[in-house]
Structure 1
């Protein structure tokens, strides 16, 4: 039982408050201003504070589910057990796709979204670090990827089918070549704009996850194809409404995309789903294994690593240096010229960024 304060202690406290010019009303009003908001009140605040990008949109999906479940609950009310139950419910209600792996990725993103939300709450001093329930949430261990490199003969099958079937064979072929040459992620293709092309040096600026950005060499053939694609389709959008085929408005960022449909509308992530579904209709093994563009990234990077070493493969992939690689990796990182050399070996075309190396390789092939 907590002992009550003596009259002397009370008088001392009152005297101290008087000298500080603080009243009891000031103390109580200060506490009322720090009232903990509800999820419905605070989620929009955090969403607006985050920079636009894939991460914010991914987190938004899970924040909306939390708001739907507990709209009027304050941030300091749910327990760790309740959060675990909510994540388990989301896993059970997930849409099971052909690449489903038990909802482990869903749980990982959900935990990251909750940690982000509560990190902002701690920074805003709405809750104390000790009262942050998201810290105790454990993310499921990442499972080893089932994706891998595609054998050469099967990759040739994919490219053949892409050029002969589907509603957009020209677009599909260009996307596949872009993935194969640059080992880029899907986000890199969706973010590519006309101003990201450097025709003189045959470089494209790839902007991918984690706000990373790099200039990646491409072959002269691919550069010409990208320029021709933009020239033949971008002008078809002029004067048209900023609405997509589904009736939703096209954002400014999306309207700048280089890759477009026949009608000039910019592609979306749905294009990749349709593209691989059409290829899978002709090649059953593609559907059975869940082949996607990321398999092409595996294919190219494994070839580069086997032929040019880890440093070049790391630069080719656009992976950032980190402490786990050791300090030596800072000094042994590959140059853009070495990446261009590897690309020249892959495509058999000289590259302007590494002309001497590419020419030497071409002469060696001709012997």
Structure 2
């Protein structure tokens, strides 16, 4: 009677098996390890509030509109379902629908911020064990390359003319000169001045 039990595998057969597993992205140790029961991957609608509650107020304010866009488009989808191409498509939509301002750069900032918001969401999902690094589609979407800044410093002659005009015109030349000096020495922006408040001496 012929035995149906297979004999020991040859070295060539083992090498072929290892090669096949490597191509499939499987570690041989995973075949003998205890199966890991993973929790079901949450949907965007379920997970976005989790991340929004975990980040700082400034991050939440910067990314909330982009997370809202994700929830509107894919609220019922699981985090592991969208492909990098689909994320890139949404980034292009954010770029196309960006508000046009005087210093607009064709929506590039909107696309960049959308990708940054998506990466933040998926980074938290990785840290929480919701998805793996290999299963993170946001890692495979490149940010748009930033264009050179259009900001330029005022040349010396122009700065002299501005200071002369401020010192000789206006309702409060002394205050105007003080504000110009603050801008010149600190390079602070207009919003910083508008938020400045007098502080009583201690």
Root-mean-square deviation (CA), in Å? 3.4
1:45 aligned partner: 50
Deviates more, 1:104-113 or 1:155-164: 155-164
1:122 aligned partner: 126
Indicate how the Cα distance of structure 1 residues 35 and 98 shifts in structure 2: closer, same or farther if over 3 A, else same.
same
- Alignment TM-score, normalising by the size of structure 1: 0.39
Is the 8 Å Cα contact of residues 98 and 107 (structure 2) preserved in structure 1? yes
Alignment of 1:184-203 (within 5 A): 184=188
- Alignment TM-score, normalising by the size of structure 2: 0.67
Larger radius of gyration: 2
Q: Secondary structure at the match of 2:51?
A: helix
Q: Secondary structure at the match of 2:90?
A: helix
1:104 aligned partner: 108
Provide, for residues 70-91 of structure 1, a one-character-per-residue CA deviation record: whole Å limited to 9, x for no partner. 2211111111111111111111
Q: Distance in 1 between matches of 2:73 and 2:175?
A: 42
Deviation (angstroms), 1:188: 5.9
1:154 aligned partner: 158
Is the 8 Å Cα contact of residues 41 and 130 (structure 2) preserved in structure 1? yes
Q: Distance in 2 between matches of 1:95 and 1:169?
A: 37
Q: Distance in 2 between matches of 1:136 and 1:61?
A: 22
Indicate how the Cα distance of structure 1 residues 120 and 151 shifts in structure 2: closer, same or farther if over 3 A, else same.
same
Deviation (angstroms), 1:114: 0.9
Indicate how the Cα distance of structure 1 residues 37 and 173 shifts in structure 2: closer, same or farther if over 3 A, else same.
farther
Deviation (angstroms), 1:180: 2.0
Alignment of 1:164-313 (within 5 A): 164=170, 176-184=180-188, 229-231=198-200
Is the 8 Å Cα contact of residues 166 and 176 (structure 2) preserved in structure 1? no
Indicate how the Cα distance of structure 1 residues 59 and 164 shifts in structure 2: closer, same or farther if over 3 A, else same.
same
Q: Distance in 2 between matches of 1:141 and 1:133?
A: 19
Deviates more, 1:55-64 or 1:175-184: 175-184
Give the alignment partner of residue 80 of structure 1, picking from 80, 84, 98: 84
Indicate how the Cα distance of structure 1 residues 143 and 37 shifts in structure 2: closer, same or farther if over 3 A, else same.
same
Q: Distance in 1 between matches of 2:161 and 2:72?
A: 46
1:328 aligned partner: none
Deviation (angstroms), 1:178: 3.0
Deviation (angstroms), 1:174: 5.8
Indicate how the Cα distance of structure 1 residues 145 and 41 shifts in structure 2: closer, same or farther if over 3 A, else same.
same
Indicate how the Cα distance of structure 1 residues 177 and 122 shifts in structure 2: closer, same or farther if over 3 A, else same.
same
